[in-house]
Amino acid sequence: MMGRRPELTGLFVGLGLLAAWQALVVLAELPPFILPGPGRVAQALWDNAGLIFGHGLITLAEVLAGLALGAVFGALTALGLALSPPARRVIRPVLVITQALPVFALAPILTLWLGYGLWSKVLMAVLIIYFPVASAFFDGLMQTPKGWLDQAKVMGAPPWRMLLQIRLPAALPALASGLRLAAVYAPIGAIIGEWVGASQGLGYLMLLANGRAKIDLMFAALAVLVVMTLALHRLVGWGCDALVRRVS
């Protein structure tokens, strides 16, 4: 019963937001081209299910590819920084400086270099989630309890064994936190890339619907994106929790 309370709370919050949305539309007498009600959006979702599903699969493929690549590159970077003090002195400041550059500003450049296909959106997602994963995992690796490492040194454990058997397991919760953030950020990167230049995907569909004043269709695509992001966040969370429990 205790495990179901967050789901029930989320359900009640969602229903409350839908009720507030409908009340705003009715009380403010908003026209559908400004803000359609939940009923109109649900009808648009039903009428255009095939269209939205097809574009949703494209966006999902971009998000999953970006999430996988960003997580791998971020984790490898964190490992390299943790194992090499010279790399920390050289690379870590560069990574921090790169965060001062708005990643969204790179979307037109990536589209110019890689075209309107899948990979410009994938790389956009990678750039957004790379730093959170690398930073969270690196912090976890560097915060291993000193007593554990001292005991391993006394027992003559080599550095690679301390990494695999002590530092990595201790840093997994931090990595899990980074991956949960990445699951939320990855769809943002894919959608931004689709807004800049694409012929497929939910972001492209939202722009197309907006340009044709089909605001209900735009909200339907947005609703599918929200559900996709929440589901991905939950799946990544389950996977991370299972991995942490297994290792610990």
Asked whether residue 3 is domain-assigned, the answer is: no
Residue 1 pLDDT > 60, yes or no?
A: no
For residue 184 the two structure tokens come to: 């939320």
pLDDT band at residue 248 using 50, 70 and 90 as cut-offs: low
CATH code of the domain in which 59 resides: 1.10.3720.10
Asked whether residue 104 is domain-assigned, the answer is: yes
| Count of domains observed in the chain | 1
For residue 209 the two structure tokens come to: 């619907």
Asked whether residue 23 is domain-assigned, the answer is: no
Asked whether residue 32 is domain-assigned, the answer is: no
Residue 69 pLDDT > 60, yes or no?
A: yes
Q: How far apart are CA 14 and CA 8, in angstroms?
A: 10
Residue range of the domain that includes 109: 37-247
Residue 2 pLDDT > 50, yes or no?
A: no
Asked whether residue 116 is domain-assigned, the answer is: yes
Asked whether residue 101 is domain-assigned, the answer is: yes
User: Alpha carbon 14 to chain centroid distance?
Assistant: 21
Asked whether residue 128 is domain-assigned, the answer is: yes
Q: How far apart are CA 93 and CA 81, in angstroms?
A: 11
Highest mean pLDDT among 77-91, 122-136, 162-176: 122-136
Reported as a single tens digit per residue, the pLDDT across 175-215 is 999 999 999 999 999 999 999 988 899 999 999 999 999 99
Reported as a single tens digit per residue, the pLDDT across 99-148 is 778 888 889 999 989 988 899 999 999 999 999 999 999 999 998 877 87
pLDDT band at residue 6 using 50, 70 and 90 as cut-offs: low
Asked whether residue 201 is domain-assigned, the answer is: yes
